[in-house]
Amino acid sequence: MNQPVRGQRISVEVNGERHERDVEARRLLVHFLRDDLDLTGTHVGCDTGNCGACTVILEGVAIKSCMLLAVQADGRSVETVEGLAPDGELHPLQEAFSSFHALQCGYCTPGMLMSAKHLLDHNPEPTEGEIRRAIQGNICRCTGYVNIVEAIASAAKGGGR
Amino acid sequence: MLLAPVEYARPSTIEDAVRLLGEHDGARPLAGGQTLTNVMKARAAAPDVLIDLNDLPELRTISRSSDGGLELGAMVTLAELIRSSDVGDARPILGEVAAQIADVQVRNRGTIGGNICSNDPTNHLPPVVAALDATMTIRGSEGERTVSAEEFFVGVYMTAVGPGELLTKITVPAAGGAGDGFASIPIGRDGTCICNAAATVDGGQARLALGCVAAVPVILTSAAEEAAVREAVKGANLDPPSDVHASSEYRRHLAEVVAVRAVQEAAG
């Protein structure tokens, strides 16, 4: 039987690699990723669950890592944007974002990529409407979304224009 | 944002969850965390202990009851409601409305139990479970009790789930010949509702629940004709709040509009 604790040692698989750390119960997953594991690709945007810059994939499901405690990820697996290009070779979505100029300042991009990956993992041939709904939880203040939608559509078709 | 210090436990049985909730003053159940985590960041709530419900698979089940209705575990996520063929067969409105809440990531974590237990007057699902005449099963150290929607929603952010208790199940009756509808005026697509209404129509009679206009869903019955629905909403003497999105008067007007739309969809 587990009693409530202020903090605990957690073991989280991140991008295929297991990490063990002592964390306080109040620590958010996004801070665990950025500050404890130095995986700073996952961004903190609004910190209110609206903007989606902190989106990661937990057990195959896209979530906002500013609304999950790190202790909740104990024993679970997480994919972050760093996991898209483990050997430095860009993921097809990243290639498409680059060739379609689907970013300007780039702040939303990691979260946008993880939402796009979650979409294509579950729906390899999305319509434009499905793409737009899939990134509804990811706010971009630069692009107007058009190139992002085109990039995701292109990646779904195997790349290219 | 750094949260205030808090203790955390993730029990693996409902019994342990209820016991932990009862043992610690200031303990709060943590469901999907899509509201509570943010409320804690804003220091609007300061639970001493979080009892994480995410390791309780029996709260995650969707099943058909013997009469053809639905038994929904409180930890069923909005995404699971949307995908469930049982929900789609029995009362599809539940999945249709869940699909209008926030965004993919929030629907992946957010739960039906969390949506109704937080009882924010602008939430989508309180009026839906109220219109569908669902019953809520609440577990405490003394055992289980079942309450109606009328009894469940008590006030803003308040429900019949007391300290040391846990909502475990939402039981939705079979539709029979009834149809269901929902209408809202949201702030942007799938945004927070300025006004919403859910309705069930059976044999020309509507059961309506209006959201965003009072502390709890306002439950009304009326004939399904438009004039009767408008009359019923007027007769409720609503005194909705004013905010930056709508004045009280405008919200009262919208309540009538969404009530008629919900009933028309239900009668469809």
| CATH tag, A92-156 | 1.10.150.120
CB contact under 8 A, A137 and B109: no
DSSP of B204-251: TEEEEEEESSSSS-EEEEEESSHHHHHHHHHHTT--PPP-SS--HHHH
Return residues 192-211 of B near A (CB < 8 Å): none
CA distance B38 to B24: 22
Q: Is the pLDDT of residue A78 over 70?
A: yes
At residue B1, the pLDDT reads 81
Instruction: Note whether B10 contacts A: Cβ–Cβ < 8 A.
Output: yes
The architecture (CATH level 2) of A7-83 comes to: Roll (3.10)
Q: How far is B41 from chain A (nearest CA, A)?
A: 8
Please indicate if any CB of chain A lies within 8 Å of the CB of B25.
no
* pTM exceeds 0.90 for this model: yes
Q: Where in chain A is the domain with CATH 1.10.150.120?
A: 92-156
Mutation site for B-interface testing, chosen from A44, A63, A139 by largest number of B Cβ within 10 Å: A63
Buried b (16+ CB within 10 A) or exposed e, A59-86: eebbbbbbbbbbbbbbebebbbbbbbee
The architecture CATH gives domain B7-52: 2-Layer Sandwich (3.30)
> For position A1, what pLDDT does the model report?
53
Q: What is the pLDDT of residues B141-196, one digit of tens each?
A: 999 999 999 999 999 999 999 999 999 999 999 999 999 999 999 999 899 999 99
For position A161, what pLDDT does the model report? 72
Sequence ranges of chain B with CATH classification 3.30.43.10: 7-52
Model pLDDT for residues B22-68, shown as the tens digit of each residue: 999 999 999 999 999 999 999 999 999 999 999 999 999 999 999 99
What's the pLDDT tens digit per position in A83-93? 999 898 999 99
Query: According to CATH, where is 3.10.20.30 located in chain A?
Result: 7-83
- Mean pLDDT over each residue of chain A, to the nearest integer: 96
* Residue A7 amino acid letter: G
- Residue B249 in contact with partner chain A when CB distance is under 8 A: no
The alpha carbon of residue B165 is apart from the nearest alpha carbon of chain A, in Å, by 17
Domain B61-172, what fold? 3.30.465
* Other Cβ atoms closer than 10 A to A128: 11
All residues of chain B having their beta carbon less than 8 Å from the beta carbon of residue A48 are 38, 41
Domain covering B179-267 assigned CATH 1.20.1050.10 in the classification: no
Q: Write out the residue limits of the CATH 3.30.390.50 domain(s) in chain B.
A: 179-267
Q: Which residues of A touch B52 (CB under 8 A)?
A: 69, 71-72
ipTM confidence score: 0.97
